[in-house]
């Protein structure tokens, strides 16, 4: 058995590395090109987040984003997308509602997805409860409902990913996530670490999966232990910040990561927003990923300085839509 595991590990490594290198060439770049998707998460949560994300698209600060379909401001996202279909937009599939006083529930009727809801018929505020309670087939129903509703609003998504990593908490939910993406001809964002952790001999890596070499995002210092213990996360591939949020720190962390990017497909996950009264209310008592945090993400990637770092390091910006067209067209 140990030899089978070793063989599978070697096979996965070869297959994954081949996919990552191959995608660069199929997109028209050298096989050793450093590919980057600059991606805005959580679009649809609030008007502030939407407007900052729309501005970031227009300013070429980002080249990708993902919308949370159950969230309160999703129709504003749909209107923007219909008027600006050239911007790459995916779906940030959602099974959690983490903010203190600002909640949402599923697109499906509550009686169809009882295992995904708390006593208030709202999504859980954490991924541990998802892991303990979520019925995979109810998850499948809700993910499909989110995709169908997005399309009914006029959104033409390029890819899917998972809000708070809720779909990577166990192998059963991960399989649902991958299968739903493929059924709908959408790219499922998956990192190399999660490919190793969540695929196995019973569900091997499909040939339509293009693993992301690394995903970079900011994490608060207080979350170091939970990051290290989280399924599919590698703390070495995260950016750790302390409790004092300053532009200089943000810029230095991101620019150093850009300089250290390696060949293959990489993703920066940004959390954008304007630090205003609305967003401060939405994110009350939650400074991490809160109003100031999102303003700093916006300011850094809207700066000429970060654009110069990208250019100086010969970073090739690509989109999920380009990858989808290779896989499914």
> H/E/C letters for each residue in the chain?
CHHHHHHHHHHHHHHHHHHHHHHHHHCCCCCCCEEEEEEEEEECCCHHHHHHHHHHHHCCCCCEEEECCCCCCHHHHHHHHHHCCCCCEEEEECCECCCCCCCCCCCCCHHHCHHHECCCCCEECCHHHHHHHCCHHHHHHHHHHHHHHHHHCCCCCCEEEEHHHHHHCCHHHHHHHHHHHHHCCCEECCEHHHHHHHCECCECCCCCCCCECEEECEEEHHHHHHHHHCCCCCHHHCEEECCCCCHHHHHHHHHHHHHCCCCEEEEEEECCCCCCHHHHHHCCCCCCCCHHHHHHHHHHHCCHHHHHHHHHCCEEECCHHHHHHHHHC
pLDDT tens sequence across 58-110 = 999 999 999 999 999 999 999 999 999 999 999 999 999 999 999 999 999 99
- Asked whether the predicted pLDDT for residue 189 surpasses 80, the reply is yes
pLDDT grade for 57, boundaries at 50, 70 and 90: very high
Whole-model pTM: value is: 0.90
Domain-wise residue ranges, the chain: 2-328
Write down the pLDDT at residue 66.
98
Average pLDDT over residues 247-255: 95
| CATH number given to 2-328 | 3.20.20.370
pLDDT grade for 19, boundaries at 50, 70 and 90: low
pLDDT tens sequence across 145-168 = 999 999 999 999 999 999 999 999
Write down the pLDDT at residue 194.
85
Average pLDDT over residues 131-143: 98
Percent of the chain with pLDDT over 70: 88
Average pLDDT over residues 131-152: 98
Write down the pLDDT at residue 220.
83
Q: In angstroms, rounded to a whole number, what is the distance separating the alpha carbons of residues 153 and 155?
A: 6
pLDDT tens sequence across 21-49 = 589 999 999 999 999 999 999 999 999 99
pLDDT grade for 5, boundaries at 50, 70 and 90: very low
Mean of pLDDT over the chain = 90
């Amino acid at each position: 058995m140990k030899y089978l595991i070793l063989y599978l590990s070697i096979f996965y490594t070869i297959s994954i590395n081949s996919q990552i290198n191959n995608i660069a060439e199929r997109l028209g770049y050298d096989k050793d090109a450093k590919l980057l998707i600059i991606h805005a998460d959580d679009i649809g949560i609030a008007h502030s987040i939407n407007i900052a994300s729309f501005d970031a698209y227009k300013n070429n600060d980002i080249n990708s984003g993902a919308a949370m379909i159950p969230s309160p401001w999703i129709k504003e996202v749909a209107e923007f997308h219909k008027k600006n279909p050239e911007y790459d937009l995916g779906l940030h599939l959602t099974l959690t509602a983490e903010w203190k006083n600002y909640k949402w529930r599923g697109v499906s009727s509550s009686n169809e997805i009882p295992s995904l809801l708390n006593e208030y018929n709202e999504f859980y505020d954490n991924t541990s409860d998802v892991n303990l309670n979520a019925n995979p087939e109810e998850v499948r129903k809700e993910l499909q409902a989110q995709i169908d509703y997005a399309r009914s609003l006029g959104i033409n998504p390029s890819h899917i990913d998972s809000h708070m990593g809720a779909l990577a908490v166990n192998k059963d939910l991960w399989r649902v996530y991958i299968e739903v993406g493929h059924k709908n001809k959408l790219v499922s964002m998956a990192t190399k670490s999660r490919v190793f952790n969540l695929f196995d001999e019973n569900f091997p890596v499909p040939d339509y999966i293009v693993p992301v070499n690394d995903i970079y995002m900011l994490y608060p210092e207080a979350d170091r232990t939970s990051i290290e213990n989280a399924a599919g996360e590698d703390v070495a591939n995260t950016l750790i910040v302390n409790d004092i949020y300053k532009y200089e720190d943000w810029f230095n962390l991101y620019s150093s990561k850009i300089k250290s990017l390696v060949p293959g497909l990489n993703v920066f996950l940004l959390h954008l927003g304007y630090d205003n009264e609305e967003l401060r209310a939405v994110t009350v008592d939650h400074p991490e990923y809160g109003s100031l945090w999102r303003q700093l993400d916006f300011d850094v990637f809207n700066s000429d300085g970060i654009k110069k770092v990208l250019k100086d390091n010969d970073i090739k910006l690509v989109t999920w839509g380009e990858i989808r067209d290779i896989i499914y067209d």
